[in-house]
Amino acid sequence: MVVLDKVTKVFPGGVEALKGISLDIKKGDIYGIIGLSGAGKSTLLRCINGLETPTSGRVLVEGREVEALNKKELQELRQSIGMLFQSFNLFEAKKVFDNVAYPLKLKKVSKELQEKEVMKMLRLVGLDDKAQAYPNQLSGGQKQRVALARALISGPKILLLDEATSALDSATGQAVLELIEKIKEELDLTVILITHDLEVVRSICNQVAILEGGQLLGAGPIGEMFRGSHIRKIRQDLVIPPGVIKGRGLLLTFSGESAKEPIISNLIKEMGLDVNILLGKIEYVDHEPLGNLLVEIDSTQEDQVVSYLESKGVQVEVYYENN
């Protein structure tokens, strides 16, 4: 569906935003691209819809190389790609109906067909009763649903999400994600989203790519990536609040059976060790438990502790406040 082949993007001044990125996004994927600010996520998304041209490498959408398209072909490609942003970008002076209908009006679609298609889309996002409301009469979640309806009104095959839930509270954002997941199935969409939020990726994605400083740290099925070493550095940056640890600790990742066993309790009993648990979290990724602990231990016993934990299937990484 979407292939990036060794894509590099260098901006004026020598800023290398993307460094040889290769991805293969299949039809029907909900593909998450995650990284901190400056990782290159937005640049990558703009290369997919032709708003940026790679300095080298290729971007192919449905087998067509984006850079090789003429103006008319590029316009057709963009019509097959819907976009949803963090900011809702609604016309405040227009009613909900007219906001959603706007792309159809640009294409000079008849009023009868506009009425049919807009109301169909508003029903899909659960806002058919708000067709005559203005944006200032809507909640943040409702505004994003209007923006989603507008992004889908032209019948795209691909939906790009640029931090689409970042401006919403957690519960509202989750509701929007669940709606996107439902609509993806109903409309047979391929969804590509960029985010800095691990929870967004964990919630709905089946595939994930991890970017840092324009480089691809890893890509693959979400369960595999969350359990593997590629995600650990970015999990430290995103999950562990500043000031939790003063100095040195161990970041432990438990997955599969190791997430269900009393490994830390057994460690304390068998080694007579004091363990200070600073931070803990357990979640389900790809229907499997995944746990994280940040702990402090006596540094003189660190090697033995690491060996013990790794023998039990626990991933261990030494963590510093500034690493």
The contacts found for 21-26 with CB under 8 angstroms, 24 or more apart, are 21/57, 21/211, 21/214, 21/215, 21/216, 22/57, 22/216, 23/209, 23/216, 23/219, 25/1, 25/190, 25/192, 25/207, 26/1, 26/190, 26/207
Q: Residues 32, 60: one domain?
A: yes
Q: Are 52 and 46 in contact (CB under 8 A)?
A: yes
Q: Residues 122, 223: one domain?
A: yes
Last residue of a domain, one of 200, 227, 254: 227
* Residue at 8 is within a domain: yes
Give pLDDT, residue 234: 61
* Residue at 97 is within a domain: yes
Query: Residue 289 maps to which CATH number?
Result: 3.30.70.260
* Residue at 81 is within a domain: yes
Last residue of a domain, one of 198, 227, 256: 227
How far is 316 from 305, CA to CA, in rounded Å? 10
* pTM (whole model) above 0.75: yes
Q: Residues 305, 177: one domain?
A: no
* Residue at 234 is within a domain: no
Q: Return the DSSP state at 318.
A: E
Give pLDDT, residue 29: 96
Q: Residues 169, 109: one domain?
A: yes
Q: Residues 152, 249: one domain?
A: no
Q: Residues 189, 291: one domain?
A: no
CA-closest candidate to residue 219, choices 192, 255, 179:
192
* Residue at 209 is within a domain: yes
* Residue at 232 is within a domain: no
Q: Residues 156, 252: one domain?
A: no
How far is 118 from 150, CA to CA, in rounded Å? 8
The tens place of each residue's pLDDT in the chain, 323 residues long, gives 999 999 999 999 999 999 999 999 999 999 999 988 889 999 999 999 999 999 999 999 999 999 999 999 988 888 899 999 888 899 999 999 999 999 999 999 999 999 999 999 999 999 999 999 999 999 999 999 999 999 999 999 999 999 988 888 889 999 999 999 999 999 999 999 999 888 888 889 999 999 999 999 999 998 888 776 666 666 554 456 667 766 678 888 888 777 788 999 998 898 888 888 888 878 777 777 888 888 888 778 888 999 999 999 888 888 776 55
Last residue of a domain, one of 227, 253, 282: 227
Give pLDDT, residue 273: 85
Q: Residues 23, 78: one domain?
A: yes
Query: Residue 50 maps to which CATH number?
Result: 3.40.50.300
Q: Residues 197, 248: one domain?
A: no
Q: Residues 221, 255: one domain?
A: no
Give pLDDT, residue 166: 87
Q: Residues 37, 120: one domain?
A: yes
Query: Structural domain tally of the chain?
Result: 2
* Residue at 282 is within a domain: yes
Give pLDDT, residue 238: 45
How far is 31 from 29, CA to CA, in rounded Å? 5
* Residue at 235 is within a domain: no
Q: Residues 155, 198: one domain?
A: yes
Alpha helices, DSSP H only, in 188-258? 198-204, 222-227, 232-239
The string of DSSP codes covering 101-126 is: HHHHHHTT--HHHHHHHHHHHHHHTT
Query: Range of 219's domain?
Result: 2-227
